[in-house]
């Protein structure tokens, strides 16, 4: 398992984000740092994982409207877990921080 996937799994485990039915869905504060001023959005996050898939989705229409990324392939994107704080995604010179607020049941 690559380092990004290990970091994703630690993030999910440490914040207890996986529900009993296996779904990973939670509310979060997302910080987008791009070449524009930093933007912060509240949104629902879903993480889909399987043997061949690890994808992070941000479910908030404003994110797409603002031209910000709303999906990441976790297998091919550098992910850094900042222990007990957030998951950091670095891609194309931009940084996205995911701060979990609560799991969804």
Domain CATH number, residue 49: 2.30.29
* Tens of pLDDT, residues 55-79: 999 999 888 777 888 999 988 899 9
Domain count, the chain: 1
Residue 26 has pLDDT above 90, yes or no: yes
Q: What is the pTM of this model?
A: 0.90
Structural domain boundaries, residue 92? 3-103
Tell me the CA end-to-end span of the chain in Å, nearest whole number. Answer: 28
Reported confidence tier of residue 15, pLDDT bands at 50, 70, 90:
very high
């Amino acid at each position: 398992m690559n380092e990004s996937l290990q970091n994703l799994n630690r993030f999910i485990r440490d914040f207890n984000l996986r529900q009993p039915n296996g779904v990973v869905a939670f509310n979060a504060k997302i910080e987008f740092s791009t070449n524009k001023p930093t933007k912060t959005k509240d949104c629902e996050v879903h993480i889909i994982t399987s043997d061949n898939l690890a994808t992070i989705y941000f479910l908030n229409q404003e994110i797409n409207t603002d031209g910000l990324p709303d999906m990441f392939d976790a297998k091919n994107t550098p992910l850094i877990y900042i222990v007990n704080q957030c998951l950091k995604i670095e891609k194309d010179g931009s940084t996205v921080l995911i701060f979990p607020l609560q799991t969804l049941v």
